[in-house]
Structure 1
């Protein structure tokens, strides 16, 4: 891929954040409104993550959220970032996304990952489906899904002889675009060997990005659909009219990161005021975690963040950046909307022009 010479295309990754005193219904409404705004602003795609049993995250079922977002948008691609495949039967995932492709032809992305998306107890509850939940069979299940969602379907070969044809939908005229997601060498090398598009989860920590992209690009196996490696970057982003406001809106997520990394009990996202009032809660290690996370985030005015994202894309030779808009809320802001996240999308769209 040639180096980016202009502003990269922008996309959105949404975990459907839940703030203090907010209901799931309000959080989902805010995210669906954000998806509609992203569509109007010209963003390339809008993906929902899969996480379970977390007080501050309502994106438990990407297919449901994708269907709702597709119904409220006209142009933007909608998809998963991603479906944690070992939690589900490959056939069920294929059927869900084949149905989504029929609902919004040419606009569906199926991002697949192998992480659990939760703690060991929830993982065990999700993976009570026998051999379909075998993490070691992840490569096989990825191959199964890519076949099942296509018009030709897949063929089951019986050990006793004979075959059985399986289709995710009866008469497909198109298929969702399959992406492999990950934060390790394993996922990069698997995507390369399968000749699939790949996204490194840079918004997690940013560690290992250079090696993962290098492995993916060097080992990529060209095919008719993807003659060259295809990838983009993810990043945590907050844009506001002033740097001061942007930094304030970062505080709730920074404190959530410290709780997560220190294995503290998780809670719904604090408002900016709540977070500032409890600023002395963390020890020096917690403060170091927050400082380390903040150093890797893109926080500032629309123009400054847009410039930084363009340089980031050029550095890694990609033409797209998927932002996770993590701006927190102030007391008094509506519960069924995310003004800080909407503001981030709007300012970046303006800052790129």
Structure 2
């Protein structure tokens, strides 16, 4: 099986830095990985977060489309319950008019009353169809649903649209969610989003993962903080509660040197029956994030893709 790789960037804020630096680093990272052979580059939506700076993925997507040439650019995702579906449709259809074949619209159910999501999704899809007619055609954006359970997966299957399973949020639910999509629609494209720490040596990757696990464990216990600087975990005096949370969260990440990570990701893809993995890595240093994607591109022998053809 030939595995396609993509990127999910959450615009992480590093300790001692600020949100402005984080969103500029997202642009720098996208420019660095664009020639490497990744199919997509998606940005996330977070609000009131000390850890993540991307509050408007539509704005970020517009900027990234101007700074890249090969990858499809999209959202992972727009939190539809927070937004007017007609405006979202108009914004992303306009982006797709400006950058034909390169725009993905990934949608999440968080951010508002979940019961509004199915109706808003219907309105958004109707609006996109009307826009295609009114604007003389065009493909519009590729529409995807994102989820860490079965609800969004069922909707994706019913509508026959793409589904991205958040393995890094809930690994146990990814298999049932993807199976639920396939049970309704065999044609719906599928992606598995995985959090990965890869370095030239397994020891360095483990150290990166330890810093992340400290941040994640403290977040679970109520501390809203930027990502700790490299090496912080090795100097930290872990509490019993932090150790317990770290053991749980470790199940949701892939860690190792390039060969080890290639083996793990290939096995995950085969187990879940997907041909595309969307890689997320939470590292405070931009250089290490760039190096992560360079190492993965080399390990998987990626080649630059024609984004318009690789939908």
What is the DSSP-based 3-state SS (H/G/I as helix, E as strand, rest coil) of the residue aligned with 2:77?
strand
What is the DSSP-based 3-state SS (H/G/I as helix, E as strand, rest coil) of the residue aligned with 2:58?
helix
Q: 1:273 aligns with which of 220, 223, 231?
A: 231
Q: Within 1, Cα distance between the matches of 2:114 and 2:179? A: 25
Alignment partner of 1:259 is 2:215: no
Deviation at 1:19, TM superposition (A): 0.3
| Counterparts in 2 of 1:135 and 1:90: CA distance versus 1, 3 Å | same
Q: Is the 8 A contact 1:234 1:323 kept in 2?
A: yes
CA deviations on 1:50-84 (whole Å, 9 max, x unpaired) are 11111110111101111111101001000001111
Q: Within 2, Cα distance between the matches of 1:213 and 1:173? A: 29
Q: What does 1:7-86 align with in structure 2 at a 5 Å threshold?
A: 8-86=3-81
What is the DSSP-based 3-state SS (H/G/I as helix, E as strand, rest coil) of the residue aligned with 2:194?
strand
Q: Within 2, Cα distance between the matches of 1:203 and 1:81? A: 13
1:301 alignment counterpart: 257
What is the DSSP-based 3-state SS (H/G/I as helix, E as strand, rest coil) of the residue aligned with 1:271?
coil
Calculate the aligned-residue CA RMSD, in Å: 1.8
Q: Within 2, Cα distance between the matches of 1:211 and 1:174? A: 31
Deviation at 1:183, TM superposition (A): 1.4
What is the DSSP-based 3-state SS (H/G/I as helix, E as strand, rest coil) of the residue aligned with 2:87?
helix
Q: Within 2, Cα distance between the matches of 1:352 and 1:307? A: 10
Q: Is the 8 A contact 2:12 2:283 kept in 1?
A: no
Alignment partner of 1:173 is 2:121: no
2:291 alignment counterpart: 343
Deviation at 1:205, TM superposition (A): 2.7
Q: Is the 8 A contact 1:203 1:236 kept in 2?
A: yes
Query: Normalising by the residue count of structure 2, what TM-score does the alignment of the two structures yield?
Result: 0.91
Q: Within 1, Cα distance between the matches of 2:298 and 2:82? A: 39
Q: Within 1, Cα distance between the matches of 2:131 and 2:91? A: 14
Q: What does 1:139-150 align with in structure 2 at a 5 Å threshold?
A: 139-150=118-129
Alignment partner of 1:325 is 2:278: no
Q: 1:138 aligns with which of 117, 136, 144?
A: 117
Structure ID, larger Rg = 1
Larger helix percent: 2
Alignment partner of 1:352 is 2:300: yes
Alignment partner of 1:210 is 2:175: yes
Deviation at 1:300, TM superposition (A): 1.1
2:308 alignment counterpart: none
1:190 alignment counterpart: 155
Q: Within 2, Cα distance between the matches of 1:153 and 1:205? A: 36
Q: Is the 8 A contact 1:12 1:322 kept in 2?
A: yes
What is the DSSP-based 3-state SS (H/G/I as helix, E as strand, rest coil) of the residue aligned with 2:256?
strand
Deviation at 1:170, TM superposition (A): 4.4
Instruction: Name stretches of at least 5 consecutive residues in structure 1 with no aligned partner.
Output: 117-122, 124-133, 155-166, 221-226, 330-337
Q: Is the 8 A contact 1:12 1:46 kept in 2?
A: yes
Instruction: Name stretches of at least 5 consecutive residues in structure 2 with no aligned partner.
Output: 302-311
Query: Normalising by the residue count of structure 1, what TM-score does the alignment of the two structures yield?
Result: 0.81
What is the DSSP-based 3-state SS (H/G/I as helix, E as strand, rest coil) of the residue aligned with 2:231?
helix
Q: 1:239 aligns with which of 198, 211, 217?
A: 198
Q: Is the 8 A contact 2:93 2:131 kept in 1?
A: no
Deviation at 1:96, TM superposition (A): 1.4
